[in-house]
Structure 1
Amino acid sequence: MRRYRDELVLLAGLLTAFALTASISLLGRWSLWSSIVVLCLTTFYYSYTFFHSDNRGLKLFLFLVQAILVIFYFALIYRSFGIIDSATGQTISPEWLDAMYFSVVTWTTLGYGDFRPVHDAKIWVMAEALLGYVFMGIFVAKILYMLRGDEDTLAVEEA
C-alpha cells in the first residue's frame, strides 16, 4: 500500500476536484475555485514525488493521464460557463466535443479563434493556459531526467 501512496494521493486529489466541479449547481462558483486549488496542489505534489520514485515509467504514464484529466476538467468548466462562437458572436452552451476542443486549444495555446471564452470564464482560460505551460515543462524535465538516469546506469554498467 505504501508503494502506491503517491498514486492514491493523485487519484484522491483528482476525484475531489471533479466532485467539487460537479457540485457547482449546489455549491455555486466557489466550488470551482476550491477545485482548482485541490487540482494544483495535487499536481505539484505528484510532480515533486516523481523525482524520488523507483517506478518512473508508471509515474510518467500517470502524469500524462493527469494532463488528459485536467483538460477534461476544464472542459467541464467551459460547459458550465459557456463559450462564444466567434462566427456568430453568440454565447453557446457547448457540446462535449466543442468543450473538449476549446480546452485542448487553450491548453496547448494554439488559439485558433473559432471560439472564445465568455467574460466569467477568462480567468479559467488563463489558468488552463498557464497550467499547460507548466505541465509541458514538467513533462520535458521528466523525460530528460529519465534519459539521464538511463545514461548513468549504462555508464556504471560499462565501468
Structure 2
Amino acid sequence: MWAFLFVFGYATAYDRYDLIVTQNGAPVNSFVDALYFSTLTFTTLGLGDFKPDPTVQLARVLVTSQAALGAILIAIFVFVLGRRAAR
C-alpha cells in the first residue's frame, strides 16, 4: 500500500513541476508518463527513455530519494515475505 502512495506522490510531483524530460531533452507533459517514470525509478529499473531534467536540482534530489526509498521498501518486503514463508 505504501509503495503505491509513494509512486503516485512522486509521479504527481514530477508532473506538476515538469521535472522529467525525454532523452532528447523534450519536456514530458503527461501524468501517465510521469507515473511510468516514477514506477521505473521506484523499482530501480531505469530503462532510460526518460530522465530527470538536468537543469533542475530538485529533479535529481527527488529521483535519488525515490530510488533509495524504493530499494529500502522492496528489501523490507522481501525480508518480511521470507520470514512469513519460513514459519
Shared fold, TM over 0.5: yes
Q: Any residues of structure 2 matched to 1:7-156 within 5 Å, and which? A: 65-82=1-18, 83-87=20-24, 89-92=25-28, 94-118=29-53, 119=56, 120-149=58-87
Q: Supply the distance in 2 between the matched residues of 1:109 and 1:130 (Cα, whole angstroms).
A: 9
Give the deviation of 1:101 after TM superposition. Answer: 0.3
| Percent sequence identity over aligned pairs | 35
Give the deviation of 1:67 after TM superposition. Answer: 0.7
Q: What amino acid is aligned across from residue 31 of structure 2 in structure 1?
A: W
Give the deviation of 1:91 after TM superposition. Answer: 2.4
1:67-122 per-residue CA deviation (whole Å, 9 max, x = no partner) reads 111110110110122111113x1223x31210100001111111111111122311
Which protein is bigger by CA-based radius of gyration?
Answer: 1
Q: Supply the distance in 2 between the matched residues of 1:144 and 1:109 (Cα, whole angstroms).
A: 21
SS at match of 2:47: coil
1:42-63 per-residue CA deviation (whole Å, 9 max, x = no partner) reads xxxxxxxxxxxxxxxxxxxxxx
Q: Supply the distance in 1 between the matched residues of 2:71 and 2:8 (Cα, whole angstroms).
A: 17
TM-score (norm 1): 0.49
Structure ranking higher in helix proportion: 1
Q: Supply the distance in 1 between the matched residues of 2:17 and 2:47 (Cα, whole angstroms).
A: 20
Residue-pair matches, total? 83
Q: What amino acid is aligned across from residue 6 of structure 2 in structure 1?
A: V
Q: What amino acid is aligned across from residue 2 of structure 2 in structure 1?
A: Q
Q: Supply the distance in 1 between the matched residues of 2:61 and 2:52 (Cα, whole angstroms).
A: 9
